[in-house]
Structure 1
Amino acid sequence: MKDVQNEKDTRNIPIDRVGVTSVSYPIVVLDPKENLQHTVANVTMAVSLPRKFRGTHMSRFLEVLNEFKGRVTLESLEQVTVDLKRKLNASGSEVKIEFPYFINRKAPVSGSTSYTRYDVVFWASYDEHFDFTMKVTVPVQTLCPCSKEISEYGAHNQRAKVSIEVRMNKRIWIEELVDVAESCASSPVYTLLKRKDEKFVTEQAYSNPRFVEDVVRDVALKLDQDDRVDWFSVSVVSQESIHNHDAFASLVRDKRS
């Protein structure tokens, strides 16, 4: 059969990235206790396309993905990028895997257990060398220091999202980044709380007010002190409860420089 994708293209324009996106795919990830968690990912895979080729071979992306049976590790992601380059005759490749990750949490007083969802992104690429980042988005609570200071009683508080993305030289677990985010907020949030837990969380946040700027800086301090982190990006978005807008703060640091 005629290979239309390999036809010569005369427009002389290389394409940075071409591939497949919005691929819903079952995956398996490992937790620190070496348990396997089954979840469903949204996968994007891409390669660079030289100027001389009309198109890429889309089916080969899924063939490469299928070879790894959905098991996602740092090592398997590197091999995926290597195989994409080889099978598609490309100078560069990348894969992005976005998935929900669940951690079984205990309420702070009652000890009631429930699963909390965290959104995770693994991004890997291979051009001159292999590159990998892990991003974790963590729901937290923030309580406004200004509101607490100026009010005779009470203070406005709201849910916020802390997103931490890292390049690492040694393994860092998803759970570790969750702990960093929650420890820098006014309070963690939980799926299941009894009344005594609700009292505890409310009072914990009130005694620990945080601007988005406070959260970003405190997270940055912790990541600066972690020798496993080479590069990081932190952003916090607070879903304001008394304003018709959100507040945010963000920063990026490259510790290699």
Structure 2
Amino acid sequence: MRLLRHDDPQDKTMTNQENTARLLPDVAVHAQPHLAGALDWVGMAEIQVPVRFDAGDGDVQRASARVGAFVNLKRPDKRGIHMSRLYLQAEQALSTQTLGADTLQALLRGFLDSHADLSDRACLSIRFEHLVRRPALRSANSGWRAYPVTIEASLTGSAFLLELGTEVVYSSTCPASAALSRQLIQDQFASDFAADATLDRAAVLEWLGSEKGIVATPHAQRSVACLRVRPAAGAPLQLISLIDRVETALGTPVQTAVKRQDEQAFALANGGNLMFCEDAARRIQKALDADAALDDFHIRVEHQESLHPHDAVAYASKGIDGGYGGAKF
């Protein structure tokens, strides 16, 4: 080891650093007895950090995320927690490791270990968007869809809970409106073709291809299925397979690249998938019930009506965990 002379510049730097450290005040260590009380959660929201995520296809994408990191404050005599410890642990783990159950559980355990005298519960929330390439319905084109992803994890003792959330946007065509439209088309046909007239096939085909053949159209609207699922123990975060299950069940997910043949195929899909919001919720419920990789799930579907200014909404769940309850998801 090199001996430093009293006038060595490095020696002076070290001394200055030590003096600065001694002089930095820490008012958080001073209790406030008149405000004593345990707190449910204390931490930080909207932490900006990059995350690495594999949606189930082996393609690890990097995304800009917003993170919430919290622990409880069980000791009423302590004024606060060590927020910088939460931040530094979250930043290091999330920016360098791929998101998964093991990574998140270890991070939450680190939160508690660094607050062993203050906390016995920790939670984490992560929000970002994941890009998935989706093929066109008929043409050889494809395009990107950005699916929102929410990951929430908590640790209480040895009890670890993990939930994955996303949204699927789709088109919903109203069955009642379709029936009313068909009746009007029938009425128009009866008006244009006398009951005792001999029908000419070519004339009927021409009529069907004219505006008279579609005097009324059913109302359809962009709709959203909000999903929150709890993977089974040991199951990976399979975002793409979850999305595929739901979009297949609905039959009318929104498209990316659209040529005329794709738009026609989309119109055909809408005609073959008439649904109320109740129908959509049950379709998704049935699809997710069949997924053994999910322990529980909660669904909220919202049909953003074109007929009136209020939306039609339905909820469904597997029903194992009553903690989901309430029409507010």
Q: Which bin holds the TM-score, normalised by the shorter protein?
A: over 0.9
Does the CA contact (< 8 Å) of 2:170 and 2:254 recur in 1? yes
Q: Percent identity?
A: 26
Aligned partner of 1:104 among 127, 130, 133: 133
* Mapping 1:41-190, distance limit 5 Å: 41-50=65-74, 51-70=76-95, 71=97, 72-89=99-116, 90-128=119-157, 129-151=159-181, 152=184, 153-169=216-232, 170-190=235-255
User: 2:55–2:237: 8 Å Cα contact kept in structure 1?
Assistant: no
Calculate the TM-score normalised by the size of structure 1.
0.94
Q: 1:18 maps to what in 2?
A: 42
Supply the AA of the counterpart residue of 1:94.
Answer: C
After TM superposition, give the deviation of residue 176 of structure 1 in Å. 1.4
Contact 2:56 2:237 in 1 (8 A): no
* C-alpha distance after superposition, 1:140-178 (max 9, x if no partner): 111111111111342111111111111121235101111
- If you compute each CA radius of gyration, which structure gives the higher value, 1 or 2? 2
Provide the TM-score with structure 2 as the length reference: 0.74
Structure 2: runs of 5 or more not aligned = 1-23, 185-215, 323-329
2:66 alignment partner AA: N
Q: CA deviation at 1:110?
A: 0.3
Does 1:3 pair with 2:35?
no
| SS of residue matched to 1:13 | coil
Structure showing the higher helix proportion among its residues: 2
Offset, 1:39: 1.1
C-alpha separation in 1, matches of 2:29 and 2:224: 45
Amino acid at match of 2:40: D
Alignment correspondent of 1:29: 53
Determine if the alignment matches structure 1 residue 210 to structure 2 residue 275: yes
Indicate the structure with greater strand content.
Answer: 1
2:109 is paired with a residue whose SS is helix
Query: Aligned partners of 1:226 and 1:69: how far apart in 2?
Result: 28
Q: How many aligned positions are there?
A: 257
